[in-house]
Structure 1
Amino acid sequence: MRTNGNRSAGQPLVVVGDVLLDEDVAGEATRLAPDAPVPVVEVAGERSRPGGAGLAAALAARDGREVVLVTALGTDPASETVRAMLPPEVRLVELPLDGTLPVKSRVLADGRPLVRVDRGGGVPGPPGPAVRRVLDEARAVLVADYGQGTAAAMRQPLAEAARRVPVVWDPHPRGRPPVGGARLVTPNEREARWFCGERDREGDDSLRAHSRRGALLAERWEALSVAVTLGCRGAVLARAHCDDPLYVPVAASLDGDPCGAGDCFAATAAVVLADGGLPTEAVGLATEAASEFIAAGGLAALAAGDAAGGRARPAPAASPAGDAAALIASVRGSGGTVVAAGGCFDLLHAGHVQFLQNARRTGDCLIVCVNSDASVRRLKGPGRPFNPAADRIRVLAGLGCVDAVVAFDEDTPEALLRRLRPDVWVKGGDYSVRDLPEAAALREWGGQTLVLPYLDGHSTTELARRAACAAP
């Protein structure tokens, strides 16, 4: 989760809403039951984690910031389980719960949900002085409303908070409307239709229609902005009486379990606003974070402790162009040749593109190993790189000849190559193979090192010099 780092000491991000206990029973389904036409799931494992506002709080705390979770918990076993599973970065401030905590149980086969069973539920009590003190200290507030009554019980203090600090409201059809003055409201497509009174889920699906719904809801809710999330299509950011919506697409195609992606979107947006960002920045980074969450495997990819604790997870090494490890296994499994190429690729030019296209032709897939920002700075000196690693990775991943991109922090990619073990290592420029330290590493597993020339007359240094000369 990336922010501008402008935190205020002693001012936490406060998450208010309904916590659930999420349970997943996962396995394989290869046959039907003899007594009914339903699949039989051979259970391989079970996982439990805080859901709803608990998941949102854990995701918001992944970068180590202080997060306060205001929610209703009781004395039932599910409430005790959630208390034990919340991460240390999340401080809990409780409302009383008359009843039991809702439990949401999913049965998944081959990673896909087959059925969900919901049980339990209670009525949250009124907020006490501790809750009001927390809201007074908040840097920003995220309301994760799952329709269980916590947001309704907190309505008056939340309305007061919205006049002081950014409030992000993730609404639910069974909940109450957001308080006036919310900085950003984040309904998904289905919820936006519901709130607009459209019961036909097959209605107008155009971006214009979604932005029109967002603008209508922003006016109705007296919200500064409304982001209608569209799943694999991204999000539309709209404002009341504004005909100029912002569309934020998803950078890569998504194929995975979207459960939890909405919480990831809302948590990221709240973090960005807490750090002084604008709603446009918040929606852009939130869309990116939610898509990366799904691409990385979503909730299933998190270890049980990590899913519950929301501890900081390193960003995946591979870009949206593909997961390097899975790609290598697939290509090798079919008898193909794995090719890797490397460089800084600071200002991508025609020479780089020709080099990468030629490298791809030497095998069946191409993995680009790109120097991190720190590595480029050590190699090229102050002022470099011109483009940060995230931008360089995204540009490289967008090339049709590139199948995956992996960053490395060292001065040379030797350690990374020993992990990837490509069949062919390709370097561009006027090197000789014997001068490359990576060549010795390739020989360890019988790999081959090639040097391909760049297109004459093209270099990052020359591009930078010409740009500087052209500047007024």
Structure 2
Amino acid sequence: MHITMPHFENARVLVVGDVMLDRYWHGMSTRISPEAPVPVVNVNQTEDRPGGAANVALNMSALGCRVSLVGVIGDDEAGQILQRSLTAAKVRTDLQISATKPTVTKLRVISHHQQLLRMDFEDKYAPEDSSDFIAKVSQLIADVDVLVLSDYAKGSLHNCQALIQLAHNAGVPVLVDPKGDDFTRYRGADVITPNFHEFEAIVGACASEEAIVACGETLMAGLELQALLVTRGEHGLSLLRPGQPELHLPARGREVFDVTGAGDTVIATLAAALASGQPLPEATALANIAAGIVVGKLGTAIVSAAELRRAIIADQGAQSGVVTEEQLLLAIEDARAAGERVVFTNGCFDIIHAGHVGYLEEARKQGDRLIVAVNSDASIRKLKGTGRPINPLDRRMAVLAGLEAVDWVVPFEEDTPERLLRRVKPDVLVKGGDYREDQVVGASLVRAHGGDVRVLGFVENCSTTSIVNKILHR
């Protein structure tokens, strides 16, 4: 499966559900209390993070989506902290304030990167605490691409069926992160994303992937679902769709540090990718990559667009070397996000010689990353005549990719690299030889978007043609 970075900036998502505040108290623990056999923690750092549905929204905002959040908070300090944090993260909030219930808060005491204690402050919400949800969603639903229901069984999602119907009337797909032992309340949703424990609590024990598929198909039929995504921890994800082959993806986390909030990251990335126009299998693969990143972090955490992009590049093997155009564009996006200047040059590079090596080293010094675009065999024959190239394209690119100065090597079929230049938009276009800058192919294109054009000299008396002629003479 070919995975690309979606255009998250085009995604509009509405999250409705149980918002909460996750608090972390960090400190050293070096002794046991004389009052009871419990560790004494000297707290030296406190941290507040949005949790639950708020964490789902935060994850989407970190990816670059336009996200709105509907939920319930209490009329208290925790609610104010939550509101400020979400606003600072560019999440549009429309939160109903309960006059009688506190903001759901989870306090974790951590020492040496381990949780020692968790304390929950909550009082389950009654229907009147979320009585404005239907009106709020009705006002927002026409301007979103996906609706996410994030259920943590805190009581704010007491009328899921009405919300699902609202979305479907507006032509908006619904994704649900479910909770509890009654999934009939999510009937008609497009996708639900239970973890494996939640899934087995509904369908019974599943000792194999075949059992997961069989039970999943029964569940989808009973709930009229378009898809079921089961998150299986260290066993990865399983995507099931009626009448289509199942998709089992292995876990991507190299080191699992903390699974807190991993389900939030999965549904957030899945929804954001779908809202960006990605097909469901590709969106699932992106969610799997994001989950692999977040489990390597402590506590409720988010995955940024830069982190996801970098992981996709690593997954596609495009950190350096020979790449496709799509891989190249993704790698360039990551380089620019890091503030790096991209240099572009092109040529036949039929027989690599000292002139090429010196030229490419000088080209690399014009910026931070060097792209070498290489003429295809057919385009070289048109330029140089029969008998050329001496070396086929794959060998020429392999040699170039082995040079320290070169970051990415990409082929092009046309006589000139103008089409590729339009896509890449390099910061610097470099050419070698006796050209004037205004004679360099693509110079006007690069200058039009604010780039520079520079001409560098080759090493004298060193060219592929002279080498070929010398061999033929001998």
Report the TM-score, using the length of structure 2 for normalisation: 0.64
* In 1: Cα distance, 2:327 partner to 2:247 partner: 25
What are the superposed Cα offsets for residues 371-397 of structure 1, whole Å, 9 maximum, x if unpaired? xxxxxxxxxxxxx646337689xxxxx
Which residue number in structure 2 is paired with residue 125 of structure 1?
130
Which residue number in structure 1 is paired with residue 261 of structure 2?
260
- Please state how far the C-alpha of 1:299 moved relative to its aligned partner: 4.2
Contact kept in structure 2, 1:149 and 1:175, CA below 8 Å: no
- Please state how far the C-alpha of 1:48 moved relative to its aligned partner: 0.8
Q: Within 5 Å, which residues of 2 pair with 1:407-418?
A: 409-411=340-342
Q: Is 1:345 aligned with 2:282?
A: no
> Which residue identity lines up with residue 195 of structure 2 in the other structure?
N
Structure 1 counterpart of 2:10, from 7, 17, 26: 7
> Which residue identity lines up with residue 265 of structure 1 in the other structure?
V
- Please state how far the C-alpha of 1:262 moved relative to its aligned partner: 0.8
Contact kept in structure 2, 1:145 and 1:175, CA below 8 Å: no
Which residue number in structure 2 is paired with residue 287 of structure 1?
288
Contact kept in structure 2, 1:318 and 1:407, CA below 8 Å: no
Q: Is 1:140 aligned with 2:146?
A: yes
* In 1: Cα distance, 2:249 partner to 2:61 partner: 25
Which residue number in structure 2 is paired with residue 224 of structure 1?
226
Q: Within 5 Å, which residues of 2 pair with 1:265-284?
A: 265-284=266-285
Q: Within 5 Å, which residues of 2 pair with 1:78-89?
A: 78-88=78-88, 89=90
Contact kept in structure 1, 2:313 and 2:327, CA below 8 Å: no
- CA, structure 1 residues 293+438, in 2 after alignment: closer, same or farther (shift >3 Å)? farther
Contact kept in structure 2, 1:22 and 1:50, CA below 8 Å: yes
* In 2: Cα distance, 1:80 partner to 1:466 partner: 55
* In 2: Cα distance, 1:210 partner to 1:30 partner: 45
- Please state how far the C-alpha of 1:192 moved relative to its aligned partner: 0.7
Q: Within 5 Å, which residues of 2 pair with 1:317-356?
A: 344-347=320-323
Which residue number in structure 2 is paired with residue 459 of structure 1?
396
What are the superposed Cα offsets for residues 107-165 of structure 1, whole Å, 9 maximum, x if unpaired? 22222222211122232231253332112433210110011122224531332313521
Contact kept in structure 1, 2:14 and 2:141, CA below 8 Å: yes
Question: Over aligned residue pairs, what C-alpha RMSD do you find?
Answer: 4.1
* In 2: Cα distance, 1:145 partner to 1:430 partner: 63
**3-state DSSP of counterpart to 1:45:** strand
Which residue number in structure 2 is paired with residue 369 of structure 1?
none
* In 1: Cα distance, 2:37 partner to 2:62 partner: 43
- CA, structure 1 residues 80+248, in 2 after alignment: closer, same or farther (shift >3 Å)? same
* In 1: Cα distance, 2:247 partner to 2:411 partner: 35
- CA, structure 1 residues 320+268, in 2 after alignment: closer, same or farther (shift >3 Å)? closer
Contact kept in structure 2, 1:236 and 1:248, CA below 8 Å: yes
Contact kept in structure 2, 1:13 and 1:271, CA below 8 Å: yes
- CA, structure 1 residues 222+230, in 2 after alignment: closer, same or farther (shift >3 Å)? same
Contact kept in structure 2, 1:24 and 1:47, CA below 8 Å: yes
What are the superposed Cα offsets for residues 24-44 of structure 1, whole Å, 9 maximum, x if unpaired? 112344443344443333334
Contact kept in structure 2, 1:125 and 1:153, CA below 8 Å: no
Gaps of 5+ in 1: 323-341, 348-383, 393-405, 413-428, 441-455
Higher mean displacement: 213-222 or 68-77: 213-222
* In 2: Cα distance, 1:226 partner to 1:74 partner: 33
* In 2: Cα distance, 1:461 partner to 1:434 partner: 18
- CA, structure 1 residues 133+192, in 2 after alignment: closer, same or farther (shift >3 Å)? same
Structure 1 counterpart of 2:190, from 183, 196, 204: 183
What are the superposed Cα offsets for residues 48-77 of structure 1, whole Å, 9 maximum, x if unpaired? 122101111111112333211111123122
* In 2: Cα distance, 1:42 partner to 1:99 partner: 31
- CA, structure 1 residues 209+315, in 2 after alignment: closer, same or farther (shift >3 Å)? same
Contact kept in structure 2, 1:166 and 1:274, CA below 8 Å: no
Report the TM-score, using the length of structure 1 for normalisation: 0.64
* In 1: Cα distance, 2:13 partner to 2:258 partner: 27
- Please state how far the C-alpha of 1:85 moved relative to its aligned partner: 1.6
Q: Within 5 Å, which residues of 2 pair with 1:51-450?
A: 51-88=51-88, 89-97=90-98, 98-121=100-123, 122-123=125-126, 124-127=129-132, 129-163=135-169, 164-173=171-180, 177-196=184-203, 198=204, 203-240=205-242, 242=243, 244-295=245-296, 297-299=297-299, 314-315=306-307, 344-347=320-323, 385=325, 387-388=327-328, 409-411=340-342, 436=361
Number of aligned residue pairs: 356
Which residue number in structure 1 is paired with residue 33 of structure 2?
33
- CA, structure 1 residues 51+129, in 2 after alignment: closer, same or farther (shift >3 Å)? same
Contact kept in structure 1, 2:257 and 2:295, CA below 8 Å: yes
> Which residue identity lines up with residue 99 of structure 1 in the other structure?
K
> Which residue identity lines up with residue 191 of structure 1 in the other structure?
E
Identity %: 25
* In 2: Cα distance, 1:465 partner to 1:15 partner: 43
Gaps of 5+ in 2: 344-351, 366-392, 400-408, 415-474
Contact kept in structure 1, 2:313 and 2:319, CA below 8 Å: no
Contact kept in structure 2, 1:72 and 1:125, CA below 8 Å: yes
**3-state DSSP of counterpart to 1:150:** coil
- CA, structure 1 residues 407+343, in 2 after alignment: closer, same or farther (shift >3 Å)? farther
Contact kept in structure 1, 2:313 and 2:330, CA below 8 Å: no
* In 1: Cα distance, 2:141 partner to 2:412 partner: 53
- Please state how far the C-alpha of 1:431 moved relative to its aligned partner: 5.7
* In 2: Cα distance, 1:112 partner to 1:213 partner: 36
